[in-house]
Amino acid sequence: MNWPPVAPPVSYIEPVFRPPSEASSLILQVTNGCSWNRCTFCEMYIDPQKKFKPKSENQLLGEIIRCGQQLPGVRRVFLGDGDPMVLSFRRLKTILEAIRTYMPSVTRVSTYALPANLKHKTVEELQVLRELGLKLIYVGAESGDDEVLRCIDKGETFATTRDGLLKAKQAGIKTSVMLINGLGGERMSEQHALASARLVNAVQPDYLATLVLFSRRGNQRVAEGFNGDFTPLTQRQLFQEMEVFLSNLTLEKTVFRSDHASNFLVLKGVLNRDLDALLRQLRAAIETPDRVFLRQDYQRGL
Ligand code: SF4
């Protein structure tokens, strides 16, 4: 028995989310929830306890000091929740300096970022954050199509997303872009796929991930954003949309993962190097789905 009791290093307001690739990272919840919190498909921060609020600087500093003492081997830190980049440059700098000082084993800090919040930082400020350890940002672009983005109330456009990502790249921060297969429904499927490919081509992100539109509460909120004119894609249509998207990519070296739990078909490769193989996988899933391994609904872990 430890006496006096040791305070746990970090406190969380549940639920807490992170990208699949941050499974082994320590999550520091520097804010609670998402300051935007309006995207119609997003159910991450809808519980009342997830109302947006930054964690106090004193509380956070105490957590970072305790993590340094109790978890000396941590190498990667993920800053949560939905958009810590909404914090001022000064506050982010203070957080990263504290991590550097009290957790010297950390080699990479990453976070989710909204393009709108990148807009409010200069390239020079982002460079300072990168030098202090912020090496990777995850941007849920969702789509490159302005009409789809408006219907889902993303608060971003093709141009704002592109510009935010390019600014981060200019500062030397790696970028990971997430898109949602099926987000435009049947009517906007093609324009969603083509504009998303244009966005990704313009940005040349280091990482690219796609997930499938899913909702535990049904698509009613999404459909309302489309004035009721929203027909979800069938599994076959999801593959067809992905085929259009991939066929229009011209990427130099982007690590692509379509392995989120929501996906029926797992696709992985480096683009465009592995493009032909990925397209063959998709063709097989479209033409002979019974001969391809596809996740069943109960295996999609939603
Ligand atoms: S910005 Fe991200 S976290 Fe915030 S509501 Fe939209 S999808 Fe959800």
CB-based burial label for 113 (10 Å; 0-12, 13-18, 19+): buried
Q: Where in the chain is the domain with CATH 3.30.750.200?
A: 139-302
Higher per-residue confidence, 299 vs 33: 33
The CB of 34 under 6 Å from ligand 1? The reply is yes
β-pairing, 108-112 with 267-271?
A: unpaired
The CB of 42 under 6 Å from ligand 1? The reply is yes
pLDDT digits (tens, 9 = 90+) for 143-201: 999 999 999 999 999 999 999 999 999 999 999 999 999 999 999 999 999 999 999 99
The CB of 37 under 6 Å from ligand 1? The reply is yes
- For the chain, the C-alpha Rg in angstroms (whole number) is 20
- Atom of ligand 1 minimally distant from the CA of 34: 4
pTM, two decimals, is: 0.94
pLDDT band at residue 302 under the 50/70/90 scheme: low
17, 40, 42: residue to mutate for ligand 1 pocket, most atoms within 8 A of CB: 42
The CATH classification of domain 9-112, taken from the options 3.30.750, 3.40.470, 3.40.1130, 3.30.70: 3.30.750
Average pLDDT score over residue span 25-51: 95
pLDDT band at residue 295 under the 50/70/90 scheme: confident
Which tokens hold the place of 84? 């810590």
Average confidence score pLDDT of the chain: 94
pLDDT digits (tens, 9 = 90+) for 2-24: 565 667 799 999 999 999 899 99
C-alpha 300 – ligand 1 centre gap (Å): 21
Distance between CA 121 and CA 172 in Å, rounded? 14
Residue 72 confidence (pLDDT) above 60: yes
- Looking at residue 290, what is its pLDDT? 86
Distance between CA 159 and CA 165 in Å, rounded? 10
pLDDT band at residue 219 under the 50/70/90 scheme: confident
C-alpha 43 – ligand 1 centre gap (Å): 8
pLDDT digits (tens, 9 = 90+) for 93-126: 999 999 999 999 999 999 999 999 999 999 999 9
Protein residue with least CA distance to atom 3, ligand 1: 82
The CB of 28 under 6 Å from ligand 1? The reply is no
Protein residue with least CA distance to atom 6, ligand 1: 39
Of the ranges 61-65, 97-101, 297-301, which one carries the lowest mean pLDDT score?
Answer: 297-301
29, 37, 138, 152: residue to mutate for ligand 1 pocket, most atoms within 8 A of CB: 37
The region, left, alpha or beta by phi > 0 then psi within -120 to 50, assigned to residue 131 is: alpha
Protein residue with least CA distance to atom 8, ligand 1: 42
Distance between CA 163 and CA 117 in Å, rounded? 11
C-alpha 129 – ligand 1 centre gap (Å): 23
- Looking at residue 94, what is its pLDDT? 98
C-alpha 8 – ligand 1 centre gap (Å): 29
C-alpha 70 – ligand 1 centre gap (Å): 32
Taking alpha carbons only, the member of 78, 62, 82, 87 closest to residue 24 is: 78
The architecture that CATH gives domain 139-302 is 2-Layer Sandwich (3.30)
C-alpha 252 – ligand 1 centre gap (Å): 28
Residue 191: alpha-carbon gap to chain centroid: 22
C-alpha 39 – ligand 1 centre gap (Å): 6
Contact status, residue 247 vs residue 236, Cβ threshold 8 Å: no
Which tokens hold the place of 223? 């459909």
C-alpha 156 – ligand 1 centre gap (Å): 11
